[in-house]
Amino acid sequence: MAKANVKEQIVTTSLQLLHSKGFNATSVQDITDAAGVPKGSFYNHFSSKEALGLEVLQRYTEGVGQLATPLQDLSLAPRQRLQQYFERMIAGNASNCFHFGCLLGNFSTELSNQIPAMRSAMRDAYSGSVAALAAVIADGQQDGSINADVPAAELAGFVNDAWQGAVLRAKSEQSSEPLERFVRMVLGRILT
Amino acid sequence: MAKANVKEQIVTTSLQLLHSKGFNATSVQDITDAAGVPKGSFYNHFSSKEALGLEVLQRYTEGVGQLATPLQDLSLAPRQRLQQYFERMIAGNASNCFHFGCLLGNFSTELSNQIPAMRSAMRDAYSGSVAALAAVIADGQQDGSINADVPAAELAGFVNDAWQGAVLRAKSEQSSEPLERFVRMVLGRILT
């Protein structure tokens, strides 16, 4: 396998393993076995498992960014943008039967107190999500479809965190219900 | 050390270690070293690390239950009960500088897909929290201090999950701000 392909194979395999099993429950040996590459090749591409974890987080965040394209779709009304975004995010969770949760949330609880560079990357990822949500909420406040009594950034921060909580609960319940409740509450009571 | 004391020493030490470092990042050796007991003694008391994890989760849940006593204090108005409960929960997180998160939330993301018995124990713990919140919210709906347009159980489920999300974010930000925002939003906009 060409060198670039080995690296890509390791990242792709790790994304699946770290998402489903977690960071500390997955060894470098698990990864190289699942990727079908020699264990020694791992350290040709990554200085450590932490370095791989950061690359996996970045890859995952890019994927979530693609799910968020409805937030930028100005042909839709602000609340419709949010509705479509949440639907896509729920479908993403449904693709693994709500068993995996959000990699960002998983790493937040598992690694925030273990790997400072990971915590920093997670902060950036959350900032990006909150900014994208806040822009849509501000549009809704501008056109009167969302109550403007609370600043958009405050609402967006709360909604971002509440989503993470709903995903965490959906993972522990192995059910879509917490995510559906999140949408009912956010679009039916909070962003109204 | 007497046998009962060894077990208690292991549980107390593990509660601290599993909360701060996580389940999979902590080995039985880490636990017995920190507890100052022989490694072999671990298996006199626990059939596995999973069995210890379940006991630690139960111990933690009992502690959270003690923090929740304001929810049962009928001398307070319903919204005051909630306010005092949230203040206690924030103080609990502040005691470790927001670095540890909630053990229940941490285990939800780390272990839901790994240990079925743990998932089942977490479901029970969440059910208990939601029921306690729902009872207070229902009281508030009864006396008119909380809007009754959404059933108390729905509101309580959402608030429970949003709290977990706020704690997760507070852990990744190492800051109280997500928890303070949670209280502002829940008492200022959702349960009004």
Chain A neighbors of B20, CB-CB under 8 A: 113
In this structure, are residues A60 and A129 in contact, taking their beta carbons and an 8 Å threshold? Answer: no
Which one-letter amino acid corresponds to residue A79? R
CA nearest neighbour of A128 among A184, A60, A50, A51: A60
pLDDT at B131 over 70: yes
> How far apart are alpha carbons B98 and B94 in whole angstroms?
5
Distance from CA of A117 to the nearest CA of B (A): 11
Q: How far is CA B2 from CA A15, A82, B16, B37, B149, in A?
A: 47, 59, 21, 11, 57
CA nearest neighbour of B165 among A185, A149, A148, A79: A185
Of B123, B164, B185, the CB nearest to A168: B164
> How far apart are alpha carbons B158 and B137 in whole angstroms?
12
pLDDT at B77 over 80: yes
DSSP for A125-136, please give it: HHHHHHHHHHHH
Confidence of residue B3 (pLDDT cuts 50, 70, 90): confident
Chain A neighbors of B149, CB-CB under 8 A: 189
Summarize pLDDT for B142-163 with one digit per residue, the tens. Answer: 999 999 999 999 999 999 999 9
Of B99, B178, B182, the CB nearest to A113: B99
Mention every residue, 6+ apart, whose C-beta is less than 8 A from residue B75: none
Distance from CA of B20 to the nearest CA of A (A): 7
This complex has an ipTM of 0.96
Summarize pLDDT for B93-115 with one digit per residue, the tens. Answer: 999 999 999 999 999 999 999 99
Chain A neighbors of B126, CB-CB under 8 A: 169, 172-173
Secondary structure of residue B52 in the 3-state scheme:
helix
All domains of chain B in start order, with CATH: 3-46 (1.10.10.60), 53-190 (1.10.357.10)
Mean pLDDT of B53-72: 96
Mean pLDDT of A94-118: 96
Would you state the pLDDT for residue A70? 98
In this structure, are residues B39 and B32 in contact, taking their beta carbons and an 8 Å threshold? Answer: yes
